[in-house]
Amino acid sequence: MEEKEISQAVISRLPRYLRFLGELQDEGVERVSSQELSDIMRVTASQIRQDLNNFGGFGQQGYGYNVGYLYGEIAKILGLHKEHNLIIVGAGHLGQALVNYMNFERRGFLFRGIFDIDRRIQGTQIRGITVRPMEEMGQFVRENDIDIAVLTIPKSGAAKTAEQLVSYGIKGIWNFAHVDLHVPEDIKVENVHLSDSLMKLSYNLASCDKKNG
């Protein structure tokens, strides 16, 4: 059965829908129309309906959408009903920050191991997780059913490490290193290029300056 490919533009909006639906749920709201959601989220009602209908008819004519149900369905679409086992590769400040950010665990992203090249921090613990040497990575990935690696190492070592991770059987890489990783097409890479983001802000500030003299 032929599944039509969903565009990444649509995927990118799903977490935001989830967030607003979660807030409505916390407020005790039970139903919401695409128009109400449109007002809150500042996107068109048409886009909301189009986006959702990529995955199925979650609403009901004349009623709208049930907040709790829709929340659950989007969570499922995003794969949040399953648990993921993660490792952090690179125990620098950023790696530590991510391990310490509790919200990921609540979503089923479980940090199982931390790896670093620096002997001085190997053996220490971060939020109860021991920092291990890179050499143990392969075995650890295989034995602990790790599917996602978080890459928080400098760009110099990133390509080689990514290649290793793939050979160990990793399925996804959350890449904070400032390089384009080249991996087989069944391996998913999600990039977070912080400096690119900051440059975008810089551009928008500069272009605003120019407009206003």
Partner DNA sequence: TAGATTGTTAATCGATTAACAATC
Where on the chain is the footprint of DNA (CB under 7 A)?
7, 9-10, 32-35, 43-47, 49-50, 52-53, 57-65
Task: Please count the residues of the chain.
Answer: 213
Among 26-34, 65-73, 94-102, 134-142, which window interacts with its own copies (CB under 8 A)? 94-102
Q: Whole-number minimum distance, CB 141 to its own copies, in Å?
A: 15
Question: In angstroms, what is the minimal distance from the CB of 164 to its own copies?
Answer: 19
Q: Closest distance between DNA and the C-beta of residue 8, in Å?
A: 7
Task: Fill in the amino acid letter for 137.
Answer: M
d(CA 95, CA 141): 17
CA distance 128 to 121: 14
Binders of its own copies among residues 138 to 157 (CB under 8 A) are 147-148
Stretch that binds its own copies, among 75-83, 114-122, 137-145, 157-165 (CB under 8 A): 75-83
The secondary structure of residue 4, as a DSSP letter, is P
Q: How far apart are CA 178 and CA 154, in angstroms?
A: 8
43 binds, among DNA, its own copies, none (CB under 5 to 8 A by kind): DNA
Which amino acid does the sequence have at 43?
V
| Sheet of 84-89, strand order | 125-126, 129-133, 109-116, 84-89, 148-151, 172-175, 188-191
Least CB distance to its own copies at residue 26 (A)? 12
| Residue 198 CB partners (closer than 8 Å, separation 6+) | none
Stretch that binds its own copies, among 63-71, 78-86, 111-119, 138-146 (CB under 8 A): 78-86
The answer to whether residue 1 forms part of the interface with its own copies (CB under 8 A) is: no
